[in-house]
Amino acid sequence: MNKKRIQQISEEVRRCVSDIVQNKVKDPRIPEIISISHVDVTNDLSFAKIYISIFGSEKEQEEAIEGLNSAKGFVKKELGRSVKLRAMPELIFVADDSIERGVKMAKLINEVNHGDK
């Protein structure tokens, strides 16, 4: 499938899964502040890797991923109602630590810049 179409599908899946997780999933392990940062859908639409950004400790992140994995069937069913695809991809939830890495890098850059003075 063409790359632009895959990107469009990935963005639509991201938007819909974000809405489902924030408004419809009622699992106490999933925090109020959760963000779907990125979705990668494979070319054959068999898998969708969903990157989740969670503000909290590592334990809270693991619990949120467990909660999402237990609600995977519900999320997939709701996604099927929102996104019309011939075959619904299998959902894979992954913790996204890019925000923490960005903060850590910014802190290191600031330390280096202040060290020069």
DSSP per-residue string spanning 79-103: HHHHS--SSPPEEEEEE--HHHHHH
Per-residue pLDDT of the chain in tens (117 residues, 90 and over written 9): 789 999 999 999 999 999 999 999 988 888 888 889 999 999 999 999 999 988 778 888 889 999 999 999 999 999 999 988 888 899 999 988 877 788 889 999 998 888 765
Provide the residue count of the chain: 117
Query: How many domains in the chain?
Result: 1
- Asked if residues 95 and 114 have their Cβ atoms less than 8 Å apart, the reply is no
Supply the pTM of this predicted model.
0.81
Burial label, 79 (beta-carbon count in 10 A; 0-12, 13-18, 19+): buried
CATH of the domain at 108: 3.30.300.20
Full residue range of the structural domain in which residue 54 is found: 3-115
